[in-house]
Amino acid sequence: MKKAIFIGSVLMAVVVLQAYAQCNKTHYFCTASLSKEEQAEFWNLNNQSQSAMFAKGEVYEMSFIAYKGYDYRLSVCTDIAEGGDKIQFEMLQDEVVRVKDEYGNTNIKKTKESIYKNAEDGLKQSITFTTDKTKKIYVKVNIPSSGTSKDKALGKTDNVCVGVLLEHKEAASLGF
Amino acid sequence: MKNKNLILGAAAAFTVSMMVSCGGDGQEDVTNVVLDDTTQTVTEPEQPAVDYAVPTPNELFEIIKIQGGEQKVGLVNPLDNRSKYVETKTKAINFGIYSADLAYMSCFGIGTEFLMYFKAIEEMGTELGIEGAFDEELMGRIENNEGDTDSLFAISNETYYDSYLYLEENDKGVELCLIMAGGYIESLYIVCNLVDKYKEGDPIIEKIGDQKLVLENLLDFILQYSDDQSVSEIMDDLISLSEVFETSMEFEESGTSIDKGENNMLVLSGGGSYKMTKTALEKITAKVEELRANYTK
């Protein structure tokens, strides 16, 4: 009996690891939610794109560097089968300012400033942006709490695959 | 990770405060980096589950080229050095260095040595146990595209990314950290050496300054593997480099604005940032040359 449980556990672990490996490419499928016109646009895959296995209802957060000189398109997706809720996501940036502390010393203070919430923009699953300075950007993705992963290995768990696809191209207005 | 932060804090508290600043979770997190030496505030980090991504060498070279960068010969690590890299640590770092060299050569049309460098990387990958990252058909594709720098650039980009995914999937985080660090140092070394002299507003010099942010994300990524001695050692090197960025660049305050442009494109403007100066360029170049010399010797 113990042996059966052990073998079962090992098999389960292998299945979950395989699912995790598959999750690593979820971002490749994020263009599916784009319109035909958007899909036809030329963008380069940016290797800062990320995919991960995450529990439903949790918030996945990633950070990437957006260079001045590129335009970016950011898309989010999960592998939740059709019928699940749309994903809510938020983009933030570091707001860096100089402040004086109580001792009169000059400090650099960093806070995160929200720059986009798709909840306020019709729950669009992608956004294009450009920046006049190279910036560190954060993306927070609210994983829907309902729905089931298309991945058979994850189907019976609370986990799903989430992807953040980043694409770039030379900025139309290079140099601003 | 928290312990590691505290240890590092004792050794280089100033720099750690910068790293901690990247690890905050939520919009209310604040870290103060004191400019004057009298006082210092370090906020104890929370432990967010943040994935920190780092641009590849290809992405950097591509934008450098777009912004007018021109190739220079003699910047890549000679293949003759390869036999010196026996230990896993030096092998992984130099795998990253040669990968960045490959990206540079293909981006700037130095195609003649591409195949030899690619073969070296493939062999080093096998020795590091990451041969699975290399597609069996890749070598054929390279031979068929010799001279087509666009294709070679795409292949070098693919190889770097496939190696990244393979290492992540196969629990080889330590090797991944060393490779990424090697790639970062080599890219910065090459770009610094593409600049002949300081000129205010030079977009390539700006890109060198931008590597401060890239380094922050790299350090945050590496931090999760810092229990490993090799990673911890290279992290110390990167921290010393980040200290040079932090202390030599000038902070410039500016308000931020977020607008909608053509086709609903979000336009992010302004924001406080660090600016390159002549001194910063000299100091960053000197530091990266020192680190690069140590890794490639």
Token code pair at residue B17: 């405060």
Contact call for residues B64 and B77 (beta carbons, < 8 A): no
Cβ neighbours for B70, distance < 8 A, ≥ 6 positions apart: B108, B194
Confirm or reject contact between B185 and chain A (CB < 8 A): no
Token code pair at residue B111: 């195609």
- pLDDT score at B246: 93
Query: Which member of A93, A138, A168 has the closest CB to residue B268?
Result: A93
Contact call for residues B40 and A108 (beta carbons, < 8 A): no
* ipTM score: 0.85
pTM: 0.84
Angle, alpha carbons A108-B185-B251 (nearest 5°): 20
Q: Which among B92, B70, B51, B67 is positioned nearest to B185, based on CA atoms?
A: B92
- pLDDT score at B240: 97
Optimal mutation site among A107, A112, A126, A138, interface B, most CBs of chain B within 10 A: A107
Contact call for residues A76 and A162 (beta carbons, < 8 A): yes
- pLDDT bin (cut points 50, 70, 90) of residue B1 is very low
Contact call for residues B31 and B24 (beta carbons, < 8 A): yes
Span of A145-149, B68-72, B89-93, B201-205 with lowest mean pLDDT:
A145-149
- What pLDDT digit, counting tens, does each position of B137-174 carry? 777 777 777 778 788 888 888 888 888 888 888 889 99
Task: State mean pLDDT over B179-202.
Answer: 96
More confident residue, A71 or A174: A71
- pLDDT bin (cut points 50, 70, 90) of residue A22 is low
- pLDDT score at B164: 84
- pLDDT score at B47: 46
- What pLDDT digit, counting tens, does each position of B86-109 carry? 999 999 999 999 999 999 998 998
Cβ atoms within 10 Å, residue A141? 24
Contact call for residues A69 and B222 (beta carbons, < 8 A): no
More confident residue, A139 or B47: A139
CA distance A83 to A167: 27
- What pLDDT digit, counting tens, does each position of B205-264 carry? 999 999 999 999 999 999 999 999 999 999 999 999 999 999 999 998 888 899 998 888
Could you tell me the CA-to-CA distances from B175 to A35, B1, B24, B183 in Å, in that order? Answer: 40, 18, 26, 12
What's phi and psi for A77, nearest 5 deg?
A: -160, 165
Contact call for residues B273 and A95 (beta carbons, < 8 A): no
- pLDDT score at B157: 83
Task: State mean pLDDT over A143-158.
Answer: 80
Contact call for residues A72 and A129 (beta carbons, < 8 A): yes
Q: Using CA atoms in the order B280, A94, B157, A31, what is the torsion angle rounded to 10 degrees?
A: -160
- List A residues 22-61 in contact with B (Cβ-Cβ < 8 A): 24-25, 46-50, 52, 60-61
State the nearest Cα–Cα gap between B41 and chain A, in angstroms.
Answer: 9
Confirm or reject contact between A113 and chain B (CB < 8 A): yes
Task: State mean pLDDT over B125-131.
Answer: 88
pLDDT score of A25 more than 90 = no
Burial of B174 (0-12, 13-18, 19+ CB in 10 A): buried
- pLDDT score at B30: 44
Interface contact B271-A95, CB threshold 8 A: yes
Task: State mean pLDDT over B22-32.
Answer: 40
Length of chain A: 176
The structure tokens 């299945």 sit at A15
Number of H helices, E strands in chain B: 10, 6
Cβ neighbours for A37, distance < 8 A, ≥ 6 positions apart: none
Q: How many CA atoms lie within 13 A of B87 on its CB side?
A: 8
- pLDDT score at B16: 32
Task: For residue A113, give the amino acid letter.
Answer: E
Optimal mutation site among B39, B46, B52, interface A, most CBs of chain A within 10 A: B52
What mean pLDDT, rounded, does chain A reach? Answer: 84
Q: Which among B55, B156, B99 is positioned nearest to A67, based on CA atoms?
A: B55
